[in-house]
Amino acid sequence: MTEYAALVVEDSPMMRQLIVFALSRLKMIKVTEAEDGVDGLRKLAGGKFDIVLTDVNMPIMDGLKLVRRIRTDPVHKDVPVIIITTEGAAEDRKRALELGANAYVTKPIQAPQVVACVKELLKIP
Protein backbone atom coordinates (compact mmCIF):
# COMPACT_ATOMS: atom_id res chain seq x y z
CA MET A 1 0.00 0.00 0.00
CA THR A 2 1.33 3.44 -0.95
CA GLU A 3 2.10 5.63 2.02
CA TYR A 4 1.67 9.36 1.67
CA ALA A 5 3.22 12.11 3.73
CA ALA A 6 1.01 15.01 4.78
CA LEU A 7 1.94 18.27 6.49
CA VAL A 8 -0.71 19.89 8.68
CA VAL A 9 -0.05 23.55 9.42
CA GLU A 10 -2.48 24.88 12.04
CA ASP A 11 -1.94 27.02 15.13
CA SER A 12 -4.98 25.74 17.02
CA PRO A 13 -4.13 22.48 18.82
CA MET A 14 -7.81 21.56 18.77
CA MET A 15 -8.12 21.94 15.00
CA ARG A 16 -4.79 20.28 14.43
CA GLN A 17 -5.90 17.26 16.41
CA LEU A 18 -9.15 17.17 14.45
CA ILE A 19 -7.37 17.30 11.07
CA VAL A 20 -4.91 14.63 12.16
CA PHE A 21 -7.85 12.49 13.23
CA ALA A 22 -9.48 13.00 9.82
CA LEU A 23 -6.29 11.96 8.02
CA SER A 24 -5.93 8.92 10.27
CA ARG A 25 -9.14 7.58 8.70
CA LEU A 26 -7.18 7.05 5.46
CA LYS A 27 -4.73 4.70 7.21
CA MET A 28 -2.05 5.38 4.62
CA ILE A 29 -0.95 8.86 5.56
CA LYS A 30 1.95 9.78 7.77
CA VAL A 31 1.23 13.17 9.29
CA THR A 32 3.68 15.85 10.35
CA GLU A 33 2.33 18.81 12.33
CA ALA A 34 3.43 22.45 12.25
CA GLU A 35 2.17 25.35 14.39
CA ASP A 36 2.50 28.19 11.87
CA GLY A 37 3.79 29.05 8.40
CA VAL A 38 7.44 29.33 9.44
CA ASP A 39 7.30 26.03 11.28
CA GLY A 40 5.61 24.61 8.20
CA LEU A 41 8.44 25.79 5.92
CA ARG A 42 10.98 24.30 8.30
CA LYS A 43 9.21 20.95 8.19
CA LEU A 44 8.93 21.14 4.40
CA ALA A 45 12.65 21.76 4.12
CA GLY A 46 13.35 18.68 6.19
CA GLY A 47 11.27 16.21 4.21
CA LYS A 48 9.25 15.33 1.15
CA PHE A 49 5.49 15.74 1.38
CA ASP A 50 2.66 14.62 -0.88
CA ILE A 51 0.06 17.05 0.43
CA VAL A 52 -0.16 20.14 2.66
CA LEU A 53 -3.19 21.20 4.68
CA THR A 54 -2.94 24.69 6.11
CA ASP A 55 -4.94 27.22 8.06
CA VAL A 56 -4.90 30.85 6.88
CA ASN A 57 -4.91 32.97 10.02
CA MET A 58 -1.79 32.02 11.95
CA PRO A 59 0.86 33.95 13.83
CA ILE A 60 4.33 34.57 12.33
CA MET A 61 3.45 33.47 8.78
CA ASP A 62 -0.08 33.02 7.51
CA GLY A 63 -1.30 30.23 5.27
CA LEU A 64 -1.45 32.31 2.09
CA LYS A 65 2.20 33.32 2.39
CA LEU A 66 3.00 29.68 2.97
CA VAL A 67 1.19 28.71 -0.25
CA ARG A 68 3.20 31.33 -2.15
CA ARG A 69 6.44 29.94 -0.72
CA ILE A 70 5.45 26.35 -1.51
CA ARG A 71 4.79 27.27 -5.14
CA THR A 72 8.37 28.55 -5.49
CA ASP A 73 9.94 25.61 -3.68
CA PRO A 74 11.58 23.30 -6.27
CA VAL A 75 10.80 20.19 -4.24
CA HIS A 76 7.21 20.96 -3.30
CA LYS A 77 5.99 23.37 -5.99
CA ASP A 78 3.55 20.79 -7.41
CA VAL A 79 2.31 19.48 -4.06
CA PRO A 80 -1.46 19.84 -3.59
CA VAL A 81 -2.38 22.38 -0.91
CA ILE A 82 -5.69 22.41 0.95
CA ILE A 83 -6.66 25.60 2.75
CA ILE A 84 -8.78 25.02 5.87
CA THR A 85 -10.08 28.31 7.20
CA THR A 86 -12.82 30.22 8.96
CA GLU A 87 -12.84 32.77 6.11
CA GLY A 88 -15.88 31.86 4.06
CA ALA A 89 -16.13 34.85 1.73
CA ALA A 90 -15.98 34.19 -2.02
CA GLU A 91 -13.14 36.69 -2.51
CA ASP A 92 -11.01 34.90 0.13
CA ARG A 93 -11.55 31.61 -1.66
CA LYS A 94 -10.74 33.18 -5.03
CA ARG A 95 -7.56 34.74 -3.69
CA ALA A 96 -6.32 31.50 -2.15
CA LEU A 97 -6.99 29.54 -5.33
CA GLU A 98 -5.27 32.21 -7.42
CA LEU A 99 -2.22 31.94 -5.18
CA GLY A 100 -2.00 28.26 -5.97
CA ALA A 101 -4.12 26.45 -3.40
CA ASN A 102 -5.83 23.38 -4.84
CA ALA A 103 -8.81 23.24 -2.52
CA TYR A 104 -10.54 25.55 -0.06
CA VAL A 105 -12.41 24.09 2.91
CA THR A 106 -14.22 26.29 5.40
CA LYS A 107 -14.48 25.63 9.12
CA PRO A 108 -16.12 24.13 11.01
CA ILE A 109 -15.00 20.91 9.37
CA GLN A 110 -16.11 17.32 9.64
CA ALA A 111 -13.60 14.51 9.11
CA PRO A 112 -15.36 12.93 6.08
CA GLN A 113 -15.21 16.26 4.25
CA VAL A 114 -11.42 16.50 4.72
CA VAL A 115 -10.96 12.84 3.83
CA ALA A 116 -12.90 13.28 0.57
CA CYS A 117 -10.86 16.32 -0.38
CA VAL A 118 -7.51 14.60 0.31
CA LYS A 119 -8.57 11.47 -1.57
CA GLU A 120 -9.55 13.53 -4.56
CA LEU A 121 -6.28 15.45 -4.67
CA LEU A 122 -4.10 12.37 -4.11
CA LYS A 123 -6.28 10.35 -6.47
CA ILE A 124 -6.85 7.67 -3.84
CA PRO A 125 -9.75 5.41 -4.95
Partner 1 sequence: MPKDPGDSLSFPRETLVSVFKRGAELTDELLRENERLRTKLAAHEAENANLRTQLASNRAIDDLLKRIDSLESERKQLLAQVSKVEEDTSSFGERQAELEDELSKLANLYIASFQLHATLLPDRVIRHLKELLGQLIGSRTHAYYLIDARTNTLVPVASEGVSNRLTPIRLESQGLSTTEAAIERAFMTGVPFVGEAKPSEAADAPNLAACIPLRVDERLVGVCVVFTLLQQKERFSEVDHELFKMLGAHAGTALVSSMFYRQADGVIPPLEILAKETQSSNETARAEGASKEAQ
Smaller CB separation from partner 1, 79 or 103: 103
E strands within the chain?
4-9, 29-34, 51-54, 81-85, 103-106
Residue 110: DSSP 8-state: -
Q: Which residues bind partner 1 (CB under 8 A)?
A: 12-15, 17-18, 21-22, 25, 86, 88-89, 106-108, 110-112, 115
Residue 98 beta carbon to partner 1: minimum distance, rounded to whole angstroms: 19
What residue spans of 8-86 are helical by DSSP H?
13-24, 37-45, 63-71
Return the number of the residue (79 or 101) whose C-beta is nearest partner 1: 101
Pick from 2, 25, 15: nearest CA to 117: 25
What is the rounded distance in angstroms from the CA atom of residue 14 to the CA atom of residue 7? Answer: 16
CB of 72 to partner 1, least distance (A): 29
Name the minimum Å distance from CB 70 to partner 1: 23
Cβ closest to partner 1, residue 5 vs residue 111: 111
